[in-house]
Amino acid sequence: MKTSLKWAMMLLIAVALAACSSKSNDKNATSVVGGATGAGVGSNPDFDDSMDARMAKILGIEKNTVYFDFDKDTIKPEYMSILQANADYLKKHPKARILIAGNADPRGSREYNIGLGQRRADVVRQRLVTMGVNANQMRTVSYGSEKPAVSGNDDFAYSQDRRDDITYDNAG
Protein backbone atom coordinates (compact mmCIF):
# COMPACT_ATOMS: atom_id res chain seq x y z
CA MET A 1 0.00 0.00 0.00
CA LYS A 2 2.81 2.41 0.86
CA THR A 3 4.47 1.77 -2.51
CA SER A 4 1.29 2.64 -4.42
CA LEU A 5 0.89 5.86 -2.49
CA LYS A 6 4.54 6.73 -3.06
CA TRP A 7 4.20 6.18 -6.83
CA ALA A 8 0.98 8.19 -6.95
CA MET A 9 2.67 11.12 -5.19
CA MET A 10 5.67 10.96 -7.53
CA LEU A 11 3.36 10.90 -10.56
CA LEU A 12 1.42 13.88 -9.23
CA ILE A 13 4.64 15.86 -8.69
CA ALA A 14 5.93 14.95 -12.16
CA VAL A 15 2.68 16.10 -13.79
CA ALA A 16 2.75 19.37 -11.82
CA LEU A 17 6.37 20.05 -12.80
CA ALA A 18 5.68 19.28 -16.45
CA ALA A 19 2.75 21.70 -16.46
CA CYS A 20 4.89 24.45 -14.94
CA SER A 21 7.65 24.08 -17.49
CA SER A 22 5.56 24.28 -20.67
CA LYS A 23 6.10 27.77 -22.05
CA SER A 24 6.46 29.19 -25.51
CA ASN A 25 9.97 29.76 -26.78
CA ASP A 26 8.82 32.48 -29.16
CA LYS A 27 10.53 35.64 -27.88
CA ASN A 28 7.84 37.86 -29.36
CA ALA A 29 4.92 35.75 -28.18
CA THR A 30 2.54 37.39 -25.78
CA SER A 31 0.66 35.18 -23.41
CA VAL A 32 -2.00 37.70 -22.51
CA VAL A 33 -5.07 38.87 -24.29
CA GLY A 34 -6.84 41.95 -23.03
CA GLY A 35 -6.35 45.57 -22.32
CA ALA A 36 -8.12 46.70 -19.20
CA THR A 37 -6.29 47.57 -16.06
CA GLY A 38 -7.12 45.27 -13.23
CA ALA A 39 -6.74 44.37 -9.62
CA GLY A 40 -3.69 42.25 -10.19
CA VAL A 41 -1.93 39.75 -12.33
CA GLY A 42 -2.78 36.84 -10.06
CA SER A 43 -6.46 37.16 -10.92
CA ASN A 44 -5.87 36.23 -14.57
CA PRO A 45 -5.30 32.50 -15.22
CA ASP A 46 -3.92 33.23 -18.72
CA PHE A 47 -1.04 35.24 -17.27
CA ASP A 48 2.19 33.24 -17.00
CA ASP A 49 5.54 34.08 -15.45
CA SER A 50 7.04 35.44 -18.67
CA MET A 51 9.04 38.66 -18.80
CA ASP A 52 5.91 40.48 -19.94
CA ALA A 53 3.81 39.14 -17.09
CA ARG A 54 6.47 40.12 -14.56
CA MET A 55 6.74 43.58 -16.12
CA ALA A 56 3.00 44.09 -16.03
CA LYS A 57 3.00 43.09 -12.36
CA ILE A 58 5.81 45.59 -11.68
CA LEU A 59 3.89 48.27 -13.58
CA GLY A 60 0.74 47.56 -11.60
CA ILE A 61 -1.34 46.64 -14.63
CA GLU A 62 -3.00 43.38 -15.55
CA LYS A 63 -2.40 43.46 -19.28
CA ASN A 64 -0.04 45.20 -21.67
CA THR A 65 -2.31 45.43 -24.68
CA VAL A 66 -4.01 48.42 -26.31
CA TYR A 67 -7.13 47.73 -28.38
CA PHE A 68 -8.45 49.74 -31.30
CA ASP A 69 -11.78 50.22 -33.02
CA PHE A 70 -12.40 48.80 -36.48
CA ASP A 71 -10.20 50.44 -39.12
CA LYS A 72 -8.87 53.01 -36.59
CA ASP A 73 -5.47 53.87 -35.16
CA THR A 74 -6.71 56.20 -32.42
CA ILE A 75 -5.81 55.36 -28.82
CA LYS A 76 -8.91 55.15 -26.64
CA PRO A 77 -8.82 56.97 -23.28
CA GLU A 78 -9.20 53.76 -21.27
CA TYR A 79 -5.73 52.63 -22.39
CA MET A 80 -3.89 55.76 -21.30
CA SER A 81 -3.19 54.30 -17.85
CA ILE A 82 -1.40 51.35 -19.48
CA LEU A 83 0.71 53.70 -21.56
CA GLN A 84 1.44 55.96 -18.59
CA ALA A 85 2.56 53.00 -16.45
CA ASN A 86 4.88 51.82 -19.22
CA ALA A 87 6.19 55.36 -19.80
CA ASP A 88 6.93 55.83 -16.11
CA TYR A 89 8.82 52.54 -15.97
CA LEU A 90 10.79 53.18 -19.16
CA LYS A 91 11.81 56.67 -18.01
CA LYS A 92 13.11 55.25 -14.71
CA HIS A 93 14.88 52.35 -16.47
CA PRO A 94 16.70 53.73 -19.52
CA LYS A 95 18.18 50.32 -20.41
CA ALA A 96 14.74 48.73 -20.70
CA ARG A 97 13.54 48.07 -24.26
CA ILE A 98 10.08 47.34 -25.62
CA LEU A 99 8.57 46.03 -28.81
CA ILE A 100 5.24 47.49 -29.85
CA ALA A 101 3.56 44.97 -32.17
CA GLY A 102 0.65 46.27 -34.22
CA ASN A 103 -2.09 43.86 -35.29
CA ALA A 104 -5.27 43.96 -37.35
CA ASP A 105 -8.28 41.71 -37.81
CA PRO A 106 -8.36 39.61 -41.00
CA ARG A 107 -10.76 41.84 -42.89
CA GLY A 108 -8.93 43.76 -45.59
CA SER A 109 -5.99 42.89 -47.82
CA ARG A 110 -2.69 41.68 -46.40
CA GLU A 111 -0.99 44.93 -47.45
CA TYR A 112 -3.70 47.08 -45.90
CA ASN A 113 -3.59 45.15 -42.62
CA ILE A 114 0.21 45.41 -42.42
CA GLY A 115 -0.08 49.17 -42.92
CA LEU A 116 -2.86 49.50 -40.34
CA GLY A 117 -0.91 47.45 -37.80
CA GLN A 118 2.14 49.67 -38.36
CA ARG A 119 0.09 52.85 -37.93
CA ARG A 120 -1.27 51.47 -34.66
CA ALA A 121 2.21 50.60 -33.40
CA ASP A 122 3.53 54.01 -34.47
CA VAL A 123 0.75 55.93 -32.70
CA VAL A 124 1.48 54.12 -29.41
CA ARG A 125 5.21 54.73 -29.84
CA GLN A 126 4.61 58.42 -30.53
CA ARG A 127 2.35 58.73 -27.48
CA LEU A 128 5.06 57.19 -25.30
CA VAL A 129 7.58 59.65 -26.76
CA THR A 130 5.27 62.55 -25.84
CA MET A 131 5.14 61.07 -22.32
CA GLY A 132 8.92 61.41 -22.12
CA VAL A 133 10.16 57.96 -23.19
CA ASN A 134 13.40 57.89 -25.19
CA ALA A 135 12.55 56.77 -28.74
CA ASN A 136 15.62 54.50 -28.74
CA GLN A 137 13.99 52.34 -26.06
CA MET A 138 11.22 51.29 -28.46
CA ARG A 139 10.89 49.44 -31.70
CA THR A 140 7.76 48.71 -33.67
CA VAL A 141 6.60 45.93 -35.95
CA SER A 142 3.37 45.14 -37.73
CA TYR A 143 2.03 41.63 -37.96
CA GLY A 144 -1.10 42.72 -39.79
CA SER A 145 -3.57 39.86 -39.35
CA GLU A 146 -0.86 37.17 -39.17
CA LYS A 147 -0.97 36.73 -35.37
CA PRO A 148 -4.61 36.55 -34.26
CA ALA A 149 -5.22 36.76 -30.53
CA VAL A 150 -8.07 34.25 -30.65
CA SER A 151 -9.38 31.99 -33.35
CA GLY A 152 -12.70 32.75 -34.93
CA ASN A 153 -14.42 34.92 -37.48
CA ASP A 154 -16.89 36.82 -35.36
CA ASP A 155 -17.06 40.28 -33.80
CA PHE A 156 -15.42 39.15 -30.55
CA ALA A 157 -12.46 37.51 -32.31
CA TYR A 158 -12.03 40.53 -34.57
CA SER A 159 -12.11 42.90 -31.58
CA GLN A 160 -9.29 40.94 -29.93
CA ASP A 161 -7.17 41.07 -33.10
CA ARG A 162 -7.27 44.89 -33.40
CA ARG A 163 -4.48 45.57 -30.93
CA ASP A 164 -0.96 46.60 -30.03
CA ASP A 165 0.97 44.24 -27.77
CA ILE A 166 3.72 45.85 -25.71
CA THR A 167 6.43 43.35 -24.80
CA TYR A 168 9.67 43.90 -22.92
CA ASP A 169 12.94 42.74 -24.48
CA ASN A 170 14.62 43.14 -21.09
CA ALA A 171 13.79 44.63 -17.73
CA GLY A 172 16.61 47.19 -17.82
Q: Could you tell me the pTM of the whole model?
A: 0.69
Q: What are phi and psi of 80, to 5 degrees?
A: -65, -30
Q: What is the CATH number assigned to the segment(s) 35-170?
A: 3.30.1330.60
pLDDT band at residue 2 using 50, 70 and 90 as cut-offs = low
Evaluate if residue 47 carries a pLDDT over 80: no
pLDDT at 127: 98
Q: Within 10 Å of residue 26's Cβ, how many Cβ atoms?
A: 9
Q: Where are the domains of the chain?
A: 35-170
Q: Residue 97: which of 129, 139, 54, 50 has the closest Cα?
A: 139
Question: What tens digit of pLDDT does each residue of 113-135 get?
Answer: 999 999 999 999 999 999 999 99
